[in-house]
Structure 1
Amino acid sequence: MRPADLAREHGLSTQAVRNYERDGFLPPAERTPSGYRVYTEVHAAALRAYLALVAAHGYPSAGLVMTALHGGALDDALLVIDRGHDQVLRDRATLDAVRDAIADLPPAPDAVGDAAPGGRWTIGELARRLRVTPATLRTWESAGILAPARDPATGYRVFRAGDLRDAELAHLLRRGGYPLERIANVVEQVRTAGGTEPLSRALEDWRRRLTARGVAMLDAAALLSAYLRLTGLGRRP
């Protein structure tokens, strides 16, 4: 096969195919005596697997998987895939938690905050709970998404149950690609019990995204498995 033959199947440019080979996403091509690349069904299978991985896991992760495989590091490639599945599982759990939270929203804003049930968290504790950095939480606070109280003795931020709910909402919506300004508007509506319809729409949109990503992961797994069978890269010594 020529580069154009591989490119045509996916609507790519021939240069893109060459770049993928250069970056290690495809195995090295054989060369004719005159220096032209010769691709085979192995390269076609690699390209299908790589592009499916991009749709399922994103460009950086897809590249890591393919370069790890071509470097003989099968476990490293599988670890990247495992992390992607773990993140989807966490997102689904967070989505369920947020749905439960908005189902139990109090009718008035003064029912949220210091009087809300639950504990108290420092910024570091909340960051660890959400697996984000304290700097991220400060950014959300600057955007109006979080409004923690301050300890009168130390001046440190104190996060309570209502803040945790707001942070969970922000974390979910941020992963869904929503800008900070939009997240702040949604959280403010929830915080003031002004209506949950915008949040419900956002959650439904994110559910559809998770479903689509799950299906894409199945497609990627099938094409990657086919590539491993074709090449023998999946066999352990």
Structure 2
Amino acid sequence: MWLRPVDLAREHGLSTQAVRNYEEAGILPPAGRSPHGYRRYSPRHAAALRAFLALVPAHGHPTAAAVMRAVNGGAVDEALRLIDESHVRLAGDRNTLQDVEDALRGLAPQRAPEAEPGVTFIGPLAHRLGLRPATLRTWERAGLVVPRRDARTGYRVYGSADVRDALLAHQLRRGGHGLDRIARVLAEVRTAGGPEPLQAALEEWRGRLRARGLAMLTAAAALDAYLCPAADAVATPAG
């Protein structure tokens, strides 16, 4: 049974040029040709296209394309390695999310940054926290608190957001968290605009990770359906 480019394209709402581009990129195996030179695809090409389009939301376009090129080139082990790496990245993202949630769960309420003085310097801030200025400098090198420098004196100037970050870092350190972990938490706090907005961002983040995990299951099934005929051919001796 031969299929035209438009037959593959129509199933997924693609253009025929997109199908040809996927073939040229090695995402689809090479097509046969009719006596007049027209491309002729088979159900196996259709399965390859389904597998690729399922892999994209699960692993991203570059990895999905690399997996399909590896499979079509007979390098199944390389394809599996790429998928394994993608799963490791997802697991790492889940661990980071858990770190942030665990850290925020142990935070005590703080006054809003607007209630803090507009700016302060390293000595007064260190005194307020009961720390040595050297500790704040260490936190700065680790990316926990990043004050600006006064253009005239070169002194560190801590704004309200910097004070907030220092307060959060101090609480997290007292809770036993390491500098790397605190840096990840504070990076998320800064992106969200504070601990409170971060809660909504964490819910959205969790939803994205869940969607990726489910997409990986769908992609695995589609890739398995594409690989099965090849696996059967290898397993069944020629008669």
Structure 1 and Structure 2 fold alike (TM over 0.5): yes
C-alpha distance in structure 1 between counterparts of 2:212 and 2:57, whole Å: 8
Q: Which residue of 2 aligns with 1:77?
A: 79
Bigger Cα Rg: 2
Q: Which residue of 1 aligns with 2:213?
A: 214
Query: For 1:179-215, what per-residue CA distance to the aligned partner results, in whole angstroms no more than 9, with x for missing partners?
Result: xxxx63535x23xxxxx2x111000001011111111
C-alpha distance in structure 2 between counterparts of 1:234 and 1:79, whole Å: 22
**Are 1:184 and 2:190 counterparts?**
yes
Q: Which residue of 2 aligns with 1:49?
A: 51
- What are the within-5 Å matches in structure 2 for residues 164-203 of structure 1? 164-165=180-181, 167-169=183-185, 184=190, 186=192, 189-190=194-195, 196=196, 198-203=197-202
C-alpha distance in structure 1 between counterparts of 2:129 and 2:37, whole Å: 70
Q: AA paired with 1:207?
A: R
**Are 1:59 and 2:49 counterparts?**
no
Q: Which residue of 1 aligns with 2:152?
A: none
Q: AA paired with 1:88?
A: L
Query: For 1:107-164, what per-residue CA distance to the aligned partner results, in whole angstroms no more than 9, with x for missing partners?
Result: 337787958x9xx6796xx6xxxxxxxxxx6xxxxxxxx5258xxxxxxxxx986664
- Aligned positions, number: 189
Superposition RMSD on alpha carbons, in Å? 3.3
C-alpha distance in structure 2 between counterparts of 1:87 and 1:218, whole Å: 15
**Cα distance change on mapping 1:3 and 1:22 into 2, 3 Å:** same
Q: AA paired with 1:46?
A: A
Structure 1 length normalisation: TM-score? Answer: 0.69
What is the percent sequence identity of the aligned residues?
A: 50
**Cα distance change on mapping 1:232 and 1:103 into 2, 3 Å:** same
**Are 1:228 and 2:227 counterparts?**
yes
Q: AA paired with 1:48?
A: R
Q: AA paired with 1:186?
A: A
- What are the within-5 Å matches in structure 2 for residues 111-126 of structure 1? 114=131
Q: Which residue of 2 aligns with 1:205?
A: 204
Structure 2: where are the runs of 5+ without partners? 112-124, 148-168, 174-178
Q: CA deviation at 1:33?
A: 0.7
C-alpha distance in structure 2 between counterparts of 1:80 and 1:106, whole Å: 42
Runs of 4+ in 1 over 6 A off after TM superposition: 109-113
**Cα distance change on mapping 1:203 and 1:91 into 2, 3 Å:** same
Structure 2 length normalisation: TM-score? Answer: 0.68
**Cα distance change on mapping 1:114 and 1:224 into 2, 3 Å:** farther
Structure 1: where are the runs of 5+ without partners? 127-136, 138-145, 150-158, 174-182, 191-195
